[in-house]
Amino acid sequence: MVSGLAGVVFGLALAAPPGPMNAVIAEESVLRGWRSGFLAGLGAMTADAVFFVLALLGAVTAVERLPLLRAAMVAGGGVLMLYFAYGAAVDAAGDAFHADDTAADGAGPTRSAADGGATDAPGGSLVADLLGRGSGDSQGFRKALVLALTNPYQIVFWLTVGVGLLRPGEIDALGYTPYVGDRLAGLLVVQTGSPAVLLGLFGGIVVWIVGFPAALVGVGRRVDRFAPAVAYASAVVLLGFGVLFLVDAAGTLGLV
């Protein structure tokens, strides 16, 4: 029981900090509704499950051994983030335009997180077709899944920490929290070796991908311009991480 609860806290600590995945979840939630946001989170969690299984089988160790492969994946992830940032900005602009239009007419919002409406996104390219942009609720699932599958840092986590959860020992759960792990180190040391820890970790992720979109949708119903503001913020986050990933890849390849 204690191990499972500790795993839930571990999962929340990993899932909650700002980053590309939460940017996608936020954009989908405020522009297309709770279901779209949840499915985006489910896409990211699906990638985690895939990486865990592959790590157990030893099928993804090449990412650790081959720096060039890792750099290529980082670069690919960076390009995808820039593409999604552009799409988020276009969606945000469209939502803001319709919000102004309906406000001028004295009508209620026609496309928002409150009613789960959808917006069209830039398409017409091979990447757009591959990711299924503009195909409704499931587009967020595909976006998050593809973005996560091209993230070598996520793979390395499951190769090291994730697989280690099934081995007897200890893990400093909060020490792996992005951005603030050093400050939280030692606050929650979990005994590993039990499947309950792993199940709890995924349980914590589920709690986040259910609650985070619900909170955003709830606020969006009360604040007219909340949806475009969050979508623009998501675009900025994706843009920033996309640039960081490309710089990281260029450094590994000796280009900078």
What is the H or E stretch that residue 100 is in? helix 67-105
Instruction: Give CA–CA dist 146/129, Å, rounded.
Output: 13
Record the pTM.
Answer: 0.81
- Lowest mean per-residue pLDDT among 67-71, 81-85, 176-180, 248-252: 176-180
Average of per-residue pLDDT values in the chain: 82
Predicted pLDDT of residue 95:
65
20-32 and 195-220 helices, crossing angle to 10°: 40
Nearest to 153 by CA among 35, 80, 255, 51: 51
Q: For the segment 157-189, what is each residue's pLDDT rounded down to a tens digit?
A: 888 888 888 888 888 888 888 888 888 888 888
Q: For the segment 98-131, what is each residue's pLDDT rounded down to a tens digit?
A: 555 544 454 444 444 444 444 444 434 434 444 5
What is the H or E stretch that residue 53 is in? helix 34-57
Does 150 score more than 70 pLDDT? yes
Greater confidence, 151 or 60? Answer: 151
* Cβ-based neighbours of 6, under 8 Å, separated by 6 or more: 173, 188, 190, 197, 200
Classify 151 in phi/psi space as left (phi over 0), alpha (psi -120 to 50) or beta. Answer: beta
CB 195 within 8 A of CB 165: no
